[in-house]
């Protein structure tokens, strides 16, 4: 299965079931995951840690 297929399925689920309140939650989880990923292996980590 491709990653694009999962995104398409999620988009279809939101569109058909009218669950638009799920979209901001998923987006925030993805952004948090990207932030965690970059803080583990980057020189930017000390600067991000000061935000929290």
39, pLDDT greater than 70: yes
- Domains of the chain, by residue range, sit at 3-49
pTM over 0.85: no
> What's the mean pLDDT in 21-47?
80
Q: Is pLDDT at 1 greater than 70 in this prediction?
A: no
Distance CA 2, CA 39 (A): 27
Whether the pLDDT of residue 6 is over 80: the answer is yes
Q: Which residues are CB-neighbours of 22 under 8 A, at least 6 positions away? A: 14
In this prediction, residue 28 carries a pLDDT of 92
Q: In the predicted model, what is the mean pLDDT of residues 4-27?
A: 86
């Amino acid at each position: 299965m491709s990653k694009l297929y999962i995104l398409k399925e999620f988009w279809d689920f939101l569109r058909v079931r009218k669950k638009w309140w799920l979209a901001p939650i998923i987006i925030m989880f993805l952004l948090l995951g990207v932030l965690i990923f970059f803080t583990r292996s980057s020189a930017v980590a000390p600067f991000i840690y000061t935000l929290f």
